[in-house]
Structure 1
């Protein structure tokens, strides 16, 4: 069984991938840990120079030095001291091959991909013998870990801190349209068409009653208002389905409630089948709006 499954070298200031080991093993938890590496690598500048993320069977370890961070995904059975021995060996090898200026001037991902052969040799050494390979001794690392224990990283806090630092806060109603929702489904298209039909019927009846409402009592004015409010709510339901919005659930139920109330007011002007049609269309639109989720964008840090 492999104790060290994946190794990753990144630049601290911006999380630029410099090199990574070839991935020969594929399991769900390993892919999850590699996804977590993407989150961590974007936040290294604000983290301690040594840290760990605990998983079920696989843990993440990293150490940073001279603007470069060395990261690994290791099996939980590998002692912490040996995991950091591996990272120290990795650091020795990397700094011996590449100078600080080369790291600073790197402009594209994985400029030192040839370093993978060295990573594979170190991984093989540790996976076969479980011990240090180069300049680092286990006793030195154990003593250093007792003096400076690695920071235990909470990924939820890291993701939140990184998002706020880069302006990726909870979207406001003004910025919601920039988020990409899941593709529109055939039931969604049907809902939009029916909503447009309902909106058209409401505005036509409302405009038709305006002339009579002017000459009639207040009851006619309220009927016109009910038709026009229902028209606005139908149009708003279409917009809410098509575009992302904050507090979508609250807005969806508010619009549904408003349509139900407006049609209750129009009980004398519409028969039971017409009222049922308008309320059913509004209910379908509400359900589909709540079911349509934000489409996750892939992270831009290639691991």
Structure 2
């Protein structure tokens, strides 16, 4: 029987453990989610040391296995447990099921296997077969686990979650809040304005080419306003870097184009087009990024 100070603990979210009220264990539990987001930046095998409790992890085939162990437990036994856990998981869960996992905690039924394996280690003091222990010990000798500092974990997690500068392309991977009823109205009005601009521009372009190219700039103004309306729809529907600057530039161009078309449109038509553009700009700026859901993991 392993002494209580050497007992192995696995975070399963469904059991109370000996160290349930231990402050350091609670801290380690909180750190596991942060660490799991940074594992992609680290080797397949590593240790994150604490005062009394260490975190051990092994990654294989897009799945990471983590355990919280007392520092007095031999390193080889901690990794032997994770290796046994990996074999059990591979035997029970197919790689296709892992790839299709789309909700938090999709494999809760595997918790019973974790508990059985924990009980086996607690009863026998280690794996059932000593040859397994020897193999893991040899693997650790050939490829020693990397000791990782928590500061490294927090830095990499900050990069992974966008706490540093984003590239221009990264904005397309972020989701905005659902489209609201006023947003649908602005899209309909924008499409209407865009249609009026392109129809008037196409008609004027036909006449301009027949009449010695006079009024070519009116055609340019109509088509520029059409493009700005289309971009306003895109800017409302999809997240984009520098959204505020882009939205004000589009509004300014629409106002300038309609000012230039003062002779082609009456006052009410100009007010309508500028008002729709202004309304769309306000809604673009008001639509925020949606909070990201919790990571779905094994």
Q: Please confirm whether the aligned pair reaches a TM-score higher than 0.5, indicating the same fold.
A: yes
Contact 1:8–1:19 (Cα < 8 Å) also in 2: no
Q: What stretches of structure 2 of length at least 5 have no aligned partner? A: 1-7, 21-25, 60-64, 94-106, 120-146
- The Cα shift of 1:268 comes to 1.9
Deviations 1:52-96 (A, max 9, x none): 7xxxxxxxx75327886445xxxxxxxxxxxxxx7437x57x958
Deviations 1:193-215 (A, max 9, x none): 10011111111211221233235
Question: What does residue 298 of structure 1 align with?
Answer: 294
Partner SS for 2:262: coil
- The Cα shift of 1:284 comes to 1.6
Contact 1:8–1:21 (Cα < 8 Å) also in 2: no
The reply to whether residue 153 of structure 1 matches residue 145 of structure 2 is no
The aligned runs of 1:1-303 (5 Å cut-off) are: 9=10, 19-20=12-13, 22=15, 37-44=32-39, 46=42, 49-51=47-49, 62-64=54-56, 69-71=66-68, 87-88=70-71, 95=77, 99-105=81-87, 106-107=89-90, 109=107, 111-112=110-111, 115=115, 151-153=149-151, 157-162=155-160, 170=167, 172=169, 176=172, 179-216=174-211, 220-295=215-290, 296-301=292-297
Deviations 1:258-292 (A, max 9, x none): 11111111122223322222112112212222322
Q: Distance in 1 between matches of 2:220 and 2:58?
A: 69
- The Cα shift of 1:257 comes to 1.8
Q: 1:171 to 1:8 in 2, by over 3 A?
A: farther
Q: Distance in 2 between matches of 1:66 and 1:243?
A: 38
Q: 1:195 to 1:210 in 2, by over 3 A?
A: same
Aligned pairs, number: 228
- The Cα shift of 1:228 comes to 1.0
- The Cα shift of 1:162 comes to 4.6
Contact 2:235–2:243 (Cα < 8 Å) also in 1: yes
Q: 1:150 to 1:194 in 2, by over 3 A?
A: closer
Partner SS for 2:56: strand
Deviations 1:167-219 (A, max 9, x none): xx75618x82x543321100000000100111111112112212332355665
Q: Distance in 2 between matches of 1:255 and 1:23?
A: 58
Q: What stretches of structure 1 of length at least 5 have no aligned partner? A: 1-6, 10-17, 26-30, 53-60, 72-85, 120-148
Q: Distance in 2 between matches of 1:211 and 1:290?
A: 37
